[in-house]
Amino acid sequence: MNELAVELRHIVKKFPGVVANKDVSLKARRGEVHALVGENGAGKSTVMKVLYGMQRPDAGEILVDGQQVRFRTPAEAIAAGIGMVHQHFMLADNFTVLENVILGSEPTKHGRIDTAAARARILEMAAAYGLDIDPDAMVENLGVGERQRVEILKVLYRGAKILIFDEPTAVLVPQEVDELFAALQGLRAEGLSVIFISHKLDEVLRVADNVTVLRHGQTVAEVAADSVTAQDLAELMVGAELPTAPPRSTVPHERVVLSLQGITVGGQGTRDLLHDVSFEIRAGEVVGIAGVEGNGQHELIDAIIGLAPCQGTIVYNGTDISRFSVARRRDSGMGLIPEDRQREALLMGSALWENRMLGHQRSAPVARHGVLQLKAVKADAAVIMREYDVRAPGPETPAHALSGGNQQKFIVGREMSRQPSLLLASHPTRGVDVGAQAAIWEELRKARDAGMAILLISADLEELMAMSDVIKVMLRGRISGTFDPQRTTLEQLGVAMTVASA
Amino acid sequence: MKSRSMRWSAYGILGVLVFSLVRAITGSSDLTSVGTFNAALLLAIPIALAGLGGLFSERAGVVNIGLEGMMVMGTWAAGFWGYQRGPWMGIVMAVIFGTIAAAVHAVATISFGVDHVVSGVAINLIAPGIVRYLSVIVYQDSNIPGAGPTQSPSVQSIGSNGLPFLSGGHVLGWQSPDLLGSIGAKGWFFISDISRILRGLTGDVSYVTMLCLLLFPLSWYLLWRTKFGLRLRSAGEAPVAAESLGVNVYRVKYIGVLISGALAGLAGGFLAIVASSNYQEGQTGGRGFIGLAAMLFGNWRPGGLLMGSALFGFSDALQLRASDAVHSALLVIAIGFAVYAVAQWRQGRRVGGAVTLALGLGVFALFTYVKELPGPFVTMTPYVTTLVVLSLATQRLRMPAKDGVPYRKGGDS
Ligand SMILES: Nc1ncnc2c1ncn2[C@@H]1O[C@H](COP(=O)(O)OP(=O)(O)OP(=O)(O)O)[C@@H](O)[C@H]1O
Ligand SMILES: [Mg+2]
């Protein structure tokens, strides 16, 4: 059982201006869940892409089952039994789940795709690993959690023996994480190897057998999971202590910033995506929304920002804005951190300073009298990068060259820079490392104390508990419960998220 | 599935009914004549082929506005080899020439990352120059009758056939009876109309036309039912994902563009050999672009683009044959709008329904008060009808997500 499935020896990978991997070594055994941790930009995704044949290393060796290999394409890595679930989903939106899963290894019968066989096989795997999915659904209609299940099915479908998961839990709520981990245990029991990247250190300790720690592109330690604490790991990663949240010392103001009255968003079927949602957010207050992905959170944000047509009344700073355009809502001081950074918040091919302008193109310092102030924008982008510790060569760097966590930090910085009076934050710390997470929380707290209202949607219940003044649980498009984080346990929240309170 | 095909047959029968009615009221027999529909088929095919070419390329993520140029290459090759080696060889060489032009587009856009539109425009500009040059070399000083720098000598025609028994087709040299034709001549309301339409579409059809028509279901099957098709479409939707699953995206894109050129070349060959009898300069007349438009409004699907092309072919045939028939067609259009308005209204789309109804009334007014349409207006009809009908019929256009976006291998997401 303990033979090495994969070994990476002294991998080096350079990009123009950055050394992503200086010297990475890693050993994963058969029947092991091996975690890979490190700060944002430490080089975790890069080294996994090297293993998966998507990037070619500048130096170093890769051994699979003791044999030295050299993958030029993912196809070769797949053939060698390696599969990868990417940090940022790689799915064709306009395809069905089934098409996405079988693409590249399609079962055929007399020259045509054997859809029936593929569907049967997908359903069988889905049942075996508890990955609930409709094979014929269009991917564009799926929520993040479901998309991830598609990604996992893609890998399993190819019969991979070595599975790489790049931050699979960032998008999942606790129940889903439990399901995923159960699936991972199943894979491990069958002698497969799992390499697992995560910033959530308790999870890492819970699921992994061994942990490799990267810092600035170098392997700094390999430790057995049962011999360390989360605190130790954090110190190995960043050389800092795990942050602890101080209890709130200020109180929210009386002034209501946002008031929702009976907001309903219709769906295609009979059930509304969002049904009769009403609540208020006061200045300096954080309202947290808990819920399993796809229970109306996305629609709630879209309705408030004006992207989804809805019934009901939205009053913002005393004005009824129900009929306002998105532009008018943003210009009146709404900030937005969308749930999917690459699809909704960034132009991946454009420089950071260009991304700085998105959503702010009409107001200072980006524009004056309708003319873009490019110099000021670049300077401002540099300020954001400094304040939010975005690790990249400079404002000219294209967004796709940033690690996922650094992209996220930049978006948070951009939205905070205008000092919005209301921040709609979907998973604001998704994919950022523990250190940066603490920093972002600190910024949000400061802004909150200065009077900013925050609608916080998060899959991370601890984040919700630490930040929110009140937590609302969403279930099937309705608010199914309201909780005081001081007097609620994680378990109670978890139950409310899945079972309708009678 | 079954109910869907039944619904479509119902629409078809309803459509023919409206046509018969209008024909009976206005007396313009060309609306449902055998000749109109036979001509419509000839006019629709080149456009549909060009559109199908565009489909293959764009589904693979490469915009191909060079279709027109590729067609031009096809017309010339068809004329030259058709005259020397017979019409079938002409068709084959047209396909090859179209493919060669497409190879240029493929190398430029896929391997060198040239902007797709720039490369396509270049091909459209260069192709006419090349064929003119070739014509001057081979035809200028030759004494072949009919040959010149702007046209080839005439090419033998390819045989044609029809459905045996129904449309007077011949089987092994024996001429079968022409049932539809004789019913069509009877002058029975609706029955004769529908017979004439079917006779026009199934009688005296060139073998090449049959072959071309077969390409549509075949392409649909290839693109939506086979492994190759899934991979080709994935290159247009999510090339990075496809690459990460081991699909050779470059290769798939190359194949898509080459097929695209082959089809455009075939369209050119059809124009030169089937729709006319020799190569003439400027023969394509913008059909490559019309095909592209049909593909766009057909929502990047073979069925949709075929319908768009058929509509264009029909209105073009009508326009060419008889301008009084175009005038009568206005009544058909007015009725069509009215029906569509009701459908919209019932779906709860009040505003859209009202607009459509207003359009219909406008057309009806045109029909009643303007007795003779001015010439340019008549020439314009195919373009206008196709545009209006298709833009009303298509609810939501969904182009391939990464269509026209240059793809670099290993490009990080
Ligand atoms: N395609 C690229 N071009 C240039 N630089 C890149 C590219 N991909 C990654 N980098 C750089 O390499 C470094 C490592 O990135 P990587 O994505 O491996 O980090 P990571 O450990 O996965 O971080 P995170 O936890 O934020 O996902 C970063 O500094 C990043 O900016
Ligand atoms: Mg990463």
ipTM of the complex, rounded to two decimals: 0.86
Last residue of a domain, one of A238, A259, A293: A238
C-alpha to C-alpha distance for A37 and B68, rounded to whole angstroms:
55
DSSP category for residue A401: G
Asked if residue B297 is part of any domain, the answer here is: yes
Q: Which domain holds residue B366?
A: 11-28+323-398
What is the structure's pLDDT at A26?
94
3-class SS of residue A194: strand
Q: Which of A11, A46, A51 to mutate to test the pocket of ligand 1 (most atoms within 8 A of CB)?
A: A46
Say if residue B312 is in the same domain as residue B377: no
DSSP category for residue A499: S
A-B contacts at Cβ under 8 angstroms: 84
CB contact residues (below 8 A), chain A span 61-120, against chain B? 73-75, 78-79, 84, 86, 88, 90-95, 99-100, 102-106, 108, 111-113
Say if residue B340 is in the same domain as residue B284: no
Residue A1's pLDDT band, with cuts at 50, 70 and 90, is very low
Q: Residue B72: pLDDT above 50?
A: yes
Asked if residue B313 is part of any domain, the answer here is: yes
C-alpha to C-alpha distance for A26 and A62, rounded to whole angstroms:
10
Asked if residue B109 is part of any domain, the answer here is: yes
Asked if residue A253 is part of any domain, the answer here is: no
A193-197 and A162-166 beta bridge pairing: parallel
The letter for the amino acid at B37 is F
**pLDDT tens-place string over residues A407-440:** 999 999 999 998 999 999 999 998 888 888 888 8
Q: Judge if the beta carbon of residue A392 lies within 6 A of ligand 1.
A: yes
Residue A145's pLDDT band, with cuts at 50, 70 and 90, is confident
C-alpha to C-alpha distance for A59 and A77, rounded to whole angstroms:
18
Q: How far is the CA of A402 from the centre of ligand 1 (A)?
A: 5
Atom of ligand 1 nearest to the CA of A38: 21
Last residue of a domain, one of B301, B321, B341: B321
Say if residue A371 is in the same domain as residue A491: yes
Q: Which domain holds residue A168?
A: 4-238
Strand partners, A14: A19
Do A52 and A84 contact (CB within 8 A), yes or no? yes
What is the structure's pLDDT at B244?
86
Q: Residue A142: pLDDT above 50?
A: yes
Say if residue B246 is in the same domain as residue B368: no
DSSP category for residue B280: B
One-letter-per-residue 3-state SS of B59-77: HCCCCCCCHHHHHHHHHHH
Asked if residue B184 is part of any domain, the answer here is: no
Residue A500's pLDDT band, with cuts at 50, 70 and 90, is low
Residues A234-267 as b or e (16 or more Cβ within 10 Å = b) = bebbbeeebeeeeebeeebeeebbbbbeebbbbe
Q: How many residues does chain A have?
A: 502
Atom of ligand 1 nearest to the CA of A47: 18
Report how far apart, in Å, the C-alpha atoms of A220 and of each of A42, A143, A213, B182, B320 are. 11, 36, 6, 90, 80
Q: Do B413 and A113 touch (CB under 8 A)?
A: no
What is the structure's pLDDT at B353?
86
What is the structure's pLDDT at A502?
37
Asked if residue B5 is part of any domain, the answer here is: no
Say if residue A392 is in the same domain as residue A473: yes
Q: How far is the CA of A403 from the centre of ligand 2 (A)?
A: 5
C-alpha to C-alpha distance for B100 and B123, rounded to whole angstroms:
11
User: Any CB–CB contact under 8 A between B60 and chain A?
Assistant: no
What is the structure's pLDDT at B412?
42
What are the strands of the beta sheet with A256-265, ordered from one edge? A274-282, A256-265, A311-316, A319-320
Say if residue B131 is in the same domain as residue B274: yes
Q: Do A74 and B413 touch (CB under 8 A)?
A: no
Asked if residue B3 is part of any domain, the answer here is: no
Asked if residue A416 is part of any domain, the answer here is: yes
Do A352 and A396 contact (CB within 8 A), yes or no? yes
Q: Do A154 and B227 touch (CB under 8 A)?
A: no
SS3 content of chain A, % helix, strand, coil (to 5): 35, 25, 35
C-alpha to C-alpha distance for A406 and B162, rounded to whole angstroms:
68
Say if residue A193 is in the same domain as residue A328: no
Contacts of A437 (CB under 8 A, 6+ apart): A199, A243, A429, A463
Q: How far is the CA of A41 from the centre of ligand 1 (A)?
A: 5
Do B345 and B353 contact (CB within 8 A), yes or no? yes
Domain with residue A382: its CATH number is: 3.40.50.300
Q: Residue B53: pLDDT above 50?
A: yes
Q: Do A104 and B245 touch (CB under 8 A)?
A: yes
Closest residue by Cα to residue A432 from A455, A464, A456, A410 = A410
Closest Cβ opposite residue A108 in set B227, B233, B245: B227
Closest residue by Cα to residue A98 from A129, A136, A128, A133 = A136
Low-confidence winner among B4-8, B9-13, B149-153, B389-393 (lowest mean pLDDT): B389-393
Closest residue by Cα to residue A207 from A186, A232, A191 = A186
Say if residue A233 is in the same domain as residue A289: no
Say if residue B390 is in the same domain as residue B332: yes
Q: Do B243 and A73 touch (CB under 8 A)?
A: yes
C-alpha to C-alpha distance for A33 and A226, rounded to whole angstroms:
13
Residue A141's pLDDT band, with cuts at 50, 70 and 90, is confident
Asked if residue A270 is part of any domain, the answer here is: no
Low-confidence winner among A267-271, A490-494, B11-15 (lowest mean pLDDT): A267-271
Asked if residue A254 is part of any domain, the answer here is: no
Asked if residue A336 is part of any domain, the answer here is: yes
Q: Do A74 and B244 touch (CB under 8 A)?
A: yes
Q: Judge if the beta carbon of residue A55 lies within 6 A of ligand 1.
A: no
Q: Do B243 and A74 touch (CB under 8 A)?
A: yes
Global pTM?
0.80
Q: How far is the CA of A50 from the centre of ligand 2 (A)?
A: 13
Say if residue A224 is in the same domain as residue A297: no
What is the structure's pLDDT at B120?
96
Low-confidence winner among A139-148, A397-406, B98-107 (lowest mean pLDDT): A139-148
Asked if residue B328 is part of any domain, the answer here is: yes
DSSP category for residue A57: -
Say if residue B260 is in the same domain as residue B370: no
User: Any CB–CB contact under 8 A between B250 and chain A?
Assistant: no
Say if residue A350 is in the same domain as residue A226: no
One-letter-per-residue 3-state SS of A319-383: EECCCCCHHHHHHCCEEEECCCHHHHHCCCCCEHHHHHHCCCCCCCCCEECCEECHHHHHHHHHH
What does the DSSP assignment read for B200-218? HHHSSEEHHHHHHHHHHHH
3-class SS of residue A123: helix
User: Any CB–CB contact under 8 A between A295 and chain B?
Assistant: no
Tell me the angle at which helices B375-393 and B323-346 cross, rounded to the nearest 10 degrees: 20
Q: How far is the CA of A406 from the centre of ligand 1 (A)?
A: 8
Please name the helix (run of DSSP H) or strand (run of DSSP E) that holds residue A244, with its range, or none: none
Asked if residue B176 is part of any domain, the answer here is: no
Give how many domains chain A has, as a whole number: 2
**pLDDT tens-place string over residues A367-379:** 888 888 999 999 9
Class of residue B169 by CB neighbours under 10 A (exposed 0-12, middle 13-18, buried 19+): buried
Q: Cα Rg for chain A, rounded, in angstroms?
A: 23
**pLDDT tens-place string over residues A125-139:** 888 877 788 999 999
3-class SS of residue A165: strand
Other beta carbons within 10 Å of B144: 12
Q: Report, as an integer, the average pLDDT of A110-137.
A: 90
Residue A260's pLDDT band, with cuts at 50, 70 and 90, is very high
For residue A100, the chain B residues in CB contact (below 8 A) are 241
Last residue of a domain, one of A220, A238, A256: A238
**Nearest C-alpha of chain A: how many angstroms from B242?**
7
For residue A268, the chain B residues in CB contact (below 8 A) are none
Mean pLDDT for all residues in chain A? 88
For residue A400, the chain B residues in CB contact (below 8 A) are 411-413
